[in-house]
Structure 1
Amino acid sequence: MRPITVLVIGGGYAGVMAADRLTQHPDVAVTLINPRPDFVERIRLHQLAGGTHAARVGYREVLAERVRLVVDRVERIDAPGRSVTLSGGDTLDYDHLVYAVGSVGSVPDVPGGELVHPLAGLEEAQRLRAALDAAPATAPVTVVGAGPTGIETAAELAEAGSAVTLVCGGVLGPYLHPRGRRAVAARLGALGVTVLEEPTVTAVTPATVRLDGGRALPSAVTIWTAGFGVPDLAVRSGLHTDAAGRLLTDETLTSVDDDRIVAAGDAAAPSGLPLRMSCQAAIPLGARAADTLLSRIAGEEPAALHEVFAGQCLSLGRRAGMFQFARRDDVAVPVHLGGRPGAALKEYICRGIVSSLTAEATQAGSYRLHRVPGGPARRRALEARAAATTVAGV
């Protein structure tokens, strides 16, 4: 009997979880396609920039033995022909496909934007580390973007001795509850980080960052963490996506174009209502995508998405951290854990993520968190959309 061939595009948190979980089926042959030979811990890239962690582990630590690894990049998906074309020229056929290409850093649309250092991938973090090493120890550093990556990077570099300015372009830590935001601001202040909440960047030069209103900040190294995008593979392949380029799926994570394609992670848009781009969402989505394919292979009806959130954790240097608690529907509540306990919890979570992938690699099907019942917020959003569509007569 010919094996059932499943290709997984993308070796991040979602792709690795999906690939490992699919090995539950004895007749499924899984191939993971990824551009680099190591698993990247994206949630540690700020540590790589700061010189405190390598932010990667070998794939054999987190991939099941039965998963074949192909180090290459997918250039196009031929859905009708059930094949993918690789950058190296090879073509791989499939019976089922997992689309888990992840996300990429946004490109600043300002004069001098090519001078900034994004921090969304391994190579970007390595280039940033080299730029920081080449700059004088007292050189001013500007971090643009006050989401988790910006906050963590600013804190990491300031703790190492850099003179850091954090340009928010809005509120500091938009996800955070005001109480948590005040705690983060206090920690950044203690580290010597200058926080500018409202200004936005209008231009970048080799030595300055220009803000609206005409102010110019001295900046020897400018780091851009303001938002994420997704690779355009689905668009280039003629598949339906949302406006940002995420693959459109139903609530089982099945592509609206082809029931042999499922999506997971940052590049998935279930029902056009994507979840927050995060490792916290990616791993359960990877497990759900695998379960959908396993159900379909068995001739069973796949289960719908159940996704719950616990909050958001932040590193604030090596000696402090923050865990912002949230409702299951991902809305922050007035409770957080900070200081050294917050740092310890963040490190425990980071290590636990790799451990959960390793556990799934050694015992496929052991992961269970994607089956925890979610809150009513997503159901209400879907029902409201359906009601609006009915009223409009569409």
Structure 2
Amino acid sequence: MKQDRVVVLGGGYAGILAAQRIAGRAPAGTRVELISDRPHFTERIRLHERVAGSAPRRIPLQRLLGRAGVTIRVGRVEGIDRSAGTVRLDGGSVPFDLALVATGSRTDWERIAGAAEHALSPCDEEAAERMAAHVASGNLAPLVVVGGGLTAVETAAELAERGHVVRLVTAGPVLPDHAPAARAYAVGVLRALGVRLREETRVAVIERDAVHLADGETIAGRAVWCGGFVPHPIAYDADLAAAPSGQILVDASLRSRSDPRSFAAGDVARVEGSAHLRMGCVTAMPMGAHAADSIVARLRGKEADAFRFRFLVQCLSLGRRQGLVQTVDPWDRALPRFFRGRTGAWIKERVCRLSVGALEWEQRLPGLYRWPRPPLQHGAPLRERLLPR
């Protein structure tokens, strides 16, 4: 009997969930191996807490994958040799029959001159650890958070609540995708915490102890870069078809458009012809689960279903005691209703815990994880209507 080998690249939300699901549902004899550049899973959605002084939130990969029978290999992925059917690592290579790329995203350091050389950041684990060390050193210089999105606002609030002098500078408004009343609430909380805001203000250059604005003004302090994410560059390293964003182009089943043996999920993937999916565990986990189901279908000689997903909310914390949960439509557009204060903080904390809980339970009961989907359109195939969800 042929033993298929499935290799999952990436030890984040999408990769771990996918590896668990494949190992638990694939035909007997299927070998599942997960490659990660570190031996633990990091709760990336809590890194803004880490940089302000909280303890690291890490879980050994063995705890999340050992029961599922997934082989763990620690190493840095350098590319995929599609002709040979191998993944190239910094210390060798791994053969595969099917591969799932879930290598995630990285901090977009290139958007502003000087950011990579001088700025701190909470956007990935390595940068967050460096920033946590700086904050813990007792340096009293102001921290200048650059950005106006979810990560920037959470980081500014967390730092200010713990007594740090914080400035926030953003090229547009704070939380531009939120409803006006929700934005006003977040701005009010930031100001109450002592954060000094500069909206509609562009940053030109970042130096080690100063942020130079496009209008010629200089703000003294250490920059904290929260200017966005870019996908892992593996699409180019593997010569896979990619979107202009650098994400791997996949079809509706999350299979690569240029290699039938490769699939992609999470921040590194872009579904061709579909609406943009916001980067984060909110989309990474559903994509990882669906990619796993597509791979299992392929191993069983069945047709894979199309990926379906709808957004429900955007959650952010405003320190440890307040939060903001913005309701959104299926396409991630803000609706008038939102939850704030302690209620918002409670919901956000439950969501964070649920993300880890889903990984722990999927290992025990493969296929348990579910995610929000839009209603099936009239005329959808009967097979899709009857498929258990």
TM above 0.5, one fold? yes
C-alpha distance in structure 1 between counterparts of 2:93 and 2:302, whole Å: 30
Tell me the secondary structure at the aligned position of residue 32 of structure 2: strand
Tell me the secondary structure at the aligned position of residue 81 of structure 1: coil
C-alpha distance in structure 1 between counterparts of 2:376 and 2:150, whole Å: 24
Counterpart contact for 1:242–1:272, Cα < 8 Å: no
Counting matched residue pairs gives 373
The residue number in structure 2 matching 1:245 is: 246
User: Is residue 79 of structure 1 aligned with residue 82 of structure 2?
Assistant: yes
Relative to 1, partners in 2 of residues 1:223 and 1:68: Cα closer, same or farther, differing over 3 Å?
same
The residue number in structure 2 matching 1:384 is: none
The residue number in structure 1 matching 2:314 is: 312
Counterpart contact for 2:20–2:366, Cα < 8 Å: yes
User: Is residue 122 of structure 1 aligned with residue 133 of structure 2?
Assistant: no
| Residue 190 of structure 1, aligned match among 192, 204, 207 | 192
Tell me the secondary structure at the aligned position of residue 145 of structure 2: strand
The residue number in structure 1 matching 2:259 is: 258
The residue number in structure 2 matching 1:233 is: 234
Identity of aligned residues (%): 38
Residue 55 of structure 1: how far off its partner (Å): 2.6
Residue 318 of structure 1: how far off its partner (Å): 0.4
| Residue 206 of structure 1, aligned match among 185, 205, 208 | 208
Counterpart contact for 2:330–2:374, Cα < 8 Å: no
Residue 168 of structure 1: how far off its partner (Å): 1.2
Superposed, which structure 2 residues align to 1:1-394 within 5 Å?
Answer: 1-23=1-23, 24-25=25-26, 26-65=28-67, 66-88=69-91, 90-113=92-115, 114-136=117-139, 138-219=140-221, 221-271=222-272, 273=274, 274-369=276-371, 372-373=373-374
Relative to 1, partners in 2 of residues 1:109 and 1:330: Cα closer, same or farther, differing over 3 Å?
closer
| Residues 272-328 of structure 1, C-alpha deviations (whole Å, 9 max, x = no match) | 544110110010000010011111111111000101111110010001011111112
4+ residue runs over 6 A deviation: none
C-alpha distance in structure 2 between counterparts of 1:139 and 1:213, whole Å: 23
Worse-matched range after superposition: 196-205 or 30-39? 196-205
Tell me the secondary structure at the aligned position of residue 73 of structure 2: strand
Tell me the secondary structure at the aligned position of residue 84 of structure 1: strand
Structure 1: give runs of 5+ residues left out of the alignment.
Answer: 380-394
Letter in structure 1 aligned against 2:179: H
| Residues 345-370 of structure 1, C-alpha deviations (whole Å, 9 max, x = no match) | 11111011000011101111111226
Counterpart contact for 1:64–1:362, Cα < 8 Å: no
TM superposition score normalised by structure 1: 0.91
Letter in structure 2 aligned against 1:45: L
What RMSD in Å do the two structures reach over aligned CA positions? 1.6
Letter in structure 2 aligned against 1:212: A
Structure 2: give runs of 5+ residues left out of the alignment.
Answer: 381-389
Tell me the secondary structure at the aligned position of residue 8 of structure 2: strand
C-alpha distance in structure 2 between counterparts of 1:374 and 1:166, whole Å: 40
Residue 28 of structure 1: how far off its partner (Å): 1.8
Residue 191 of structure 1: how far off its partner (Å): 0.5
TM superposition score normalised by structure 2: 0.92
Residue 175 of structure 1: how far off its partner (Å): 2.1
C-alpha distance in structure 2 between counterparts of 1:290 and 1:112, whole Å: 40
